[in-house]
Each structure stands twice: as C-alpha cells, then as structure tokens.
Amino acid sequence: MSSEVAIRATHLGKAFPVYARPHHRLLQMLSPGPANRWYREFHALRDVSFEIPRGQTVGIVGRNGSGKSTLLQVLCGTLSGSAGEVEVHGRVAALLELGAGFSPEFTGRENVYLNATVLGLSRREVDERFDSIAAFADIGEFIEQPVKTYSSGMYVRLAFAVAIHVEPDILVVDEALAVGDEAFQRKCFARIEQIRQAGATVLFVSHSAGTVIELCDRALLLDGGELVADGAPKQVIGLYQKLLYAPAGRLAELREQARANPVAALAGQESARDAAPAAEAAADAGPEPWFDESLRPASTLAYAAQGASIEDPHLTTPDGRRVNVLVAGREYVYRYQVRFEQAAAGVRCGMMMRTVTGIEACGAVTSTPEQALPVVEAGARLAVAFRFRCLLAAGVYFLNAGVLARLGEGEAYLDRRIDVAMFRVLPDAGRLDTGLVGMDVVPALARALDEGVAS
C-alpha cells in the first residue's frame, strides 16, 4: 500500500437550504443576501477531515441521514462542499446511482458508449472494452434493445458493468451491491476484489457490518454529519451498532463518548481514565461483550400460564455480568427463574434462539422426560441456567423460555414466553464457519501426492 494520498478532506462541510413554504424560494431569488434569508440551513456534513492513502479500502458506516451519501457525492464532484477543501488524485468511478445517466430511448449498446464517455473513456477505449462489458452484464440480445424495455435487474447489470470497466484509481461504492440477485452480487464482489488487488483505492458505504469488516482495511463512522470515529473496522462497527440501537435521549452522550475515546464508548465506560485499562485489554483481546439497554424485543408473546411463571430471562457472562451484545466464540449463560404457584410433577425447562425471520437457530432442554424433576412443591422457585459457547453468525437473535410438566398422560407448558429477550452477535472477521451456526470445525489443507508417485 502506497503512502501517497488518494483523497484528503479538510474541515469539509455541506449545507442545504430548507424552505418552510414553496413560495419562499421565489422570495429568496427576488431578494437575495444574508439580510433577507427565507430559509434555514441543514448541515449534512460538519467539519469532516481525513486522509486516505492510495490503495486503501475504507468502509463508511452510519445511521440513515448521517451524511454518508452526501460525503461520497462531494468526493466524486457531483456536489460541491459549502466549507473546507477536498483533494482527489486519480480517475474516479462512482457506483452511486446506477444508470443515472442512461437514456431510456437509447439501446443498451448506445447507453454503454454514452455512459462510458461520461465516465472518462475515449471512443477507442469503449470499443476495446465493449465485449467485456456486454459479457459481464450478461443480458444477451437485449443489449440491442432500448433500456426502457429492461427489467430493473437488467438495468442494474448493465450500469454496473460499465462503471467497473473504467479501470479507476478510486472506486466509490454506495450500497450499489444491495441490488441484483445473489449470483450477480457475488460477481460484483469478485470484480471489486480484482480492482483492489490492482492497487485502486476503494470507498465502500454499506449497512452490512460483516461486509465492511471483511472488505475494508479501515472504517469511518459518521453521525449527524460529523466524523465520530476513524479506525479498525471491528471497533468502528461496534460503535456504529451501539449508536444504531441507542435510546434517543442518550444519542448525544454516546456520540461525544465515541469522539473523545472510542474504546471507552465501546466498553460502556464513562471516563477516559476508567477506559485506560480497557484500551490495553482491547488491543490484546479484541472487543468485550456489553449490555445495550435499547435491545428490547417488541414482539414478546406469553402463553396462558398454568400454575407457574417465568421471570427475569437474561444473558450473562460466566462470572454473572449481564450482557446482550456478544463476542462470537466466548461462553455465556442464559438464565431465568420459574416460580411455582401450584405443585407440579415431571418438570423440565427449555430455551430456543431464533433469527429475526423466525428460523430456529438452536435450543436445549434441561433433561429428557425420563430424567425430569419428579416433584416441585407449590411456592418453590427454580433457577434455570443454560451455559453455551456462542457459535452463531453475526446478527440479531431472539430468546424463548419454557417450563414443561406432566399433565394427564402427556406434557404441557406451564408457562412459555416467545421473544422474551434479544441479543446481538458482533461480526468476527476470523470466522471460518459459513452457516448460521458454527460447528467448531478444525479445517486442514495439505498438498496431496499423486498415486504412484514417490514422495
């Protein structure tokens, strides 16, 4: 990676006029000047400064409305900043609004030449690359049809194919890969990886934490138009997720903590002095699990109780500290209590972890029916604990809890709670498992000798 600077932003700001009424625009045109202001200013960017060396891949994350897209447009030159300076060195290919320059009446072929020319290629260069562009887009004979007849997927394929064949020094991607089918997205990522390996600088905006950690060397966190954090992707993603799920009343406090000391904000510390030991530990052991009070399910469902009640379901570390933002690969305990209002026989308890879409990721029970507790007296309390090692993929999960007993000739729930608690698993860039739940696989790879060939 070269130390030469590809992009430099110095105290960059961008403000937009916001008019309370439509006719105020006309009044402003007729009476310009600071003394006659008919609008208020919305600051999409405030005092943003950073440098990106040539060849670095940088992820830009932030909540909706944080200024990410505005920043990219200023860097690409489609918007001008209101304050500060921007330096960009090299040819830029921007995947911002794919196909924004296409003419609906022109054929795909004609739009390739038009769009590629706008992006800086000469007619000869487009001639040389046209076959490769058409092959990447893979829309067949539709390349000779007007693009107004294209499906949205075909439109995106052609626009992306043109943009990535510019051979840029700087590639800017703004959630453009969230479109298209899975096969096309994979092909796009492979092409971006080729551009990275060729030494290009890549700016990548995404809401996918795993994608940013996997692709990027560095990450920037924007919030409220300000640069809140700049550092290692795993740490910045942790701060982003904490802001994303923070209560509205604590946003300003968390933002200032993140700007003053990212390690303290991530660990939930309240002062830089308290965070000093945490900073040393984080450098060696990575992020720590913490409790995010905003992670509260809104979809909780309780079955009709039959003589028992589940209370206080929550996750802890093995030493008893409450958490709901988990670091993959570590051990945790799911705990709750059961209060019995009536005596019960054949008692056992269970748990289940489900994804946002309701898929049952994993679960467990305290015993088989044959090994259940013979009798639990009325007024008794049971402390239930399921100790586990978190092998789940990054994402948000919901917890169920249930208590079973023998009623008549079979089993029935005395109490059951659906989505009674929720937790988040942080992304792990070193994860080798590729599914929803890991299997603690130990892979091996060695060169195999051909049969009959002496070693």
Give the pLDDT band of residue 179 (cuts 50, 70, 90).
low
Cα distances (Å, whole numbers) of residue 12 to 40, 260, 293 = 19, 20, 34
**Residues near 180 by Cβ (< 8 Å), separated by ≥ 6?**
153, 156, 157, 160, 188
Residue 103 has pLDDT above 50, yes or no: yes
Global confidence as pTM: 0.58
Q: Helices 152-164 & 108-118, crossing angle to 10 degrees?
A: 40
In residues, how long is the chain? 455
Q: What's the rounded Cα separation, in Å, for the pair 107 and 125?
A: 19
CATH architecture, domain defined by 5-219: 3-Layer(aba) Sandwich (3.40)
User: What mean pLDDT comes out for the span 276-287?
Assistant: 46
Could you give the 3-state DSSP secondary structure of residue 159?
A: helix
Q: Give residue 253's identity as a one-letter amino acid code.
A: E
The tokens for 265 are: 């904000």
User: What mean pLDDT comes out for the span 69-81?
Assistant: 88
- Please tell me the predicted confidence (pLDDT) of residue 274: 40
User: What mean pLDDT comes out for the span 39-54?
Assistant: 90
- Please tell me the predicted confidence (pLDDT) of residue 92: 85
pLDDT top residue among 455 and 355: 355
* Residue ranges per structural domain of the chain: 5-219, 301-425
- Please tell me the predicted confidence (pLDDT) of residue 392: 95
- Please tell me the predicted confidence (pLDDT) of residue 275: 37
Q: What is the DSSP letter of 411?
A: E
User: What mean pLDDT comes out for the span 101-123?
Assistant: 88
Task: Determine which of 79-83, 329-333, 430-434 has the lowest per-residue pLDDT on average.
Answer: 430-434
Q: What's the rounded Cα separation, in Å, for the pair 314 and 334?
A: 6
User: What mean pLDDT comes out for the span 293-306?
Assistant: 86
User: What mean pLDDT comes out for the span 313-320?
Assistant: 96
pLDDT top residue among 351 and 42: 351
Alpha-carbon 119 to chain mean position:
29
**Domain 5-219 matches domain 301-425 at the CATH topology level:** no
CATH number for the 301-425 domain, one of 3.40.1390.10, 3.40.640.10, 2.70.50.60, 3.40.190.290? 2.70.50.60
Question: What average pLDDT does the structure give for the chain?
Answer: 84
Cα distances (Å, whole numbers) of residue 6 to 227, 232, 400 = 19, 19, 50
Q: What's the rounded Cα separation, in Å, for the pair 155 and 137?
A: 9
Q: What's the rounded Cα separation, in Å, for the pair 157 and 155?
A: 6
Q: What's the rounded Cα separation, in Å, for the pair 261 and 265?
A: 6
Give the pLDDT band of residue 376 (cuts 50, 70, 90).
very high
Give the pLDDT band of residue 204 (cuts 50, 70, 90).
confident
